[in-house]
Amino acid sequence: MRRAFLAVLLGTVGAFALIFVVGAVLSPDQTAPKTEQALQRSQANDGAATPPEVTLPPAWHTPVKNHFPVIPPGPNKKFMEEAQEYLTACLTSGDELQDCYDDQARFEQEYVNAYAGDFLAQSNIATDMSQHISDGIRQNFIQACAWRLVIMASGSEYLRDTDANTTIMICRETGKVSDAGIIARAHAIKKTIASHHAKLVPVPEIDFDPRRDKDEENAGGD
């Protein structure tokens, strides 16, 4: 039954095809939105105006408590709490520390959106947990593989030929592509998505606003 479920879960790619596909992991290039310049003017002692001093304040500021982003109340709280289980303490300082907190907040927000069925959010959190791209996010290939299996079974219009390669590259790191635990986790994720309990939330770091944008692929109003 487990193997049969895996074959269905992988859809058109097929379980056995994925096992033997070799390819490179391709992850979306995420770019933080541009901020507006804040201009500060000061007066010299003789009363003459000095050239404006340019500063670049962050477009958002992640509130932090006990070294992790504060989880706002609401229907998505339980999903953000689950996401926080995959975070680890930020070990940087200064501006890099704030960047780490912002990235953790982005992960929590996209984790919610992944459960809400957003394709790019699912892809991003799988990449986060497989590539260990941030000091603040734990590497977890089992979770990453489960999310990749869900992506392959989604039937999304955004699926690309490279997604099969990405999935096998991530899942082979577990050494257990057909492991019952991974399959069970993928099944649980699909069940949560189907429940429609998770609702899309804004993701400031990628300029995604669900009131304006169709999905994360169209973030920024494009």
Q: Please answer whether residues 55 and 38 qualify as being in contact, where contact means their C-beta atoms are separated by less than 8 angstroms.
A: yes
**9 is written with which tokens?**
């879960």
Give CA–CA dist 101/114, Å, rounded.
Answer: 20
Number of structural domains (the chain) is 1
Does residue 53 lie within any of the structural domains? no
**Which of residues 145 and 9 earns the better pLDDT score?**
145
Q: Which domain holds residue 169?
A: 2-12+75-221
Which residue shows structure tokens 């079974």?
Answer: 153
Q: Which one, of 185, 196, 206, lies nearest residue 76 by Cα?
A: 196
Question: What is the reported pLDDT for 121?
Answer: 98
- What are the two backbone dihedrals, phi and then psi, of residue 203, each rounded to the nearest 5 degrees? -130, 90
Does residue 134 lie within any of the structural domains? yes
Give CA–CA dist 78/199, Å, rounded.
Answer: 12
Confidence band (pLDDT; 50, 70, 90) for 178? low
**Which of residues 160 and 48 earns the better pLDDT score?**
160
Does residue 148 lie within any of the structural domains? yes
**Amino acid identity at 188:** A
39-43, 138-142, 170-174: the lowest-pLDDT one = 39-43
Does residue 62 lie within any of the structural domains? no
Does residue 54 lie within any of the structural domains? no
Q: pLDDT averaged over the chain?
A: 77
Does residue 111 lie within any of the structural domains? yes
* CA 155, 156, 158, 164 torsion-angle sign: negative
pLDDT in tens, 49-97: 433 333 333 444 677 776 788 888 889 999 999 999 999 988 888 888 8
CA angle 143, 220, 151 (to 5 degrees): 25
Q: Please answer whether residues 171 and 20 qualify as being in contact, where contact means their C-beta atoms are separated by less than 8 angstroms.
A: no
Q: Is 70 exceeded by the pLDDT of residue 166?
A: yes
Does residue 60 lie within any of the structural domains? no
SS3 for 159?
coil
Q: Which one, of 101, 108, 182, 133, lies nearest residue 28 by Cα?
A: 133
Q: Which one, of 82, 93, 90, lies nearest residue 125 by Cα?
A: 82
Q: How many CA atoms does the CB half-sphere of 142 hold within 13 Å? A: 9
- The CA–CA distances, whole Å, from 125 to 132, 185, 222 equal 10, 15, 22
Question: What is the reported pLDDT for 129?
Answer: 95
Q: Which residues contact 155 (CB under 8 A, 6 or more apart)?
A: 11
Q: Is 70 exceeded by the pLDDT of residue 47?
A: no
pLDDT in tens, 186-222: 999 999 999 999 999 999 999 999 999 999 999 997 6
Does residue 32 lie within any of the structural domains? no
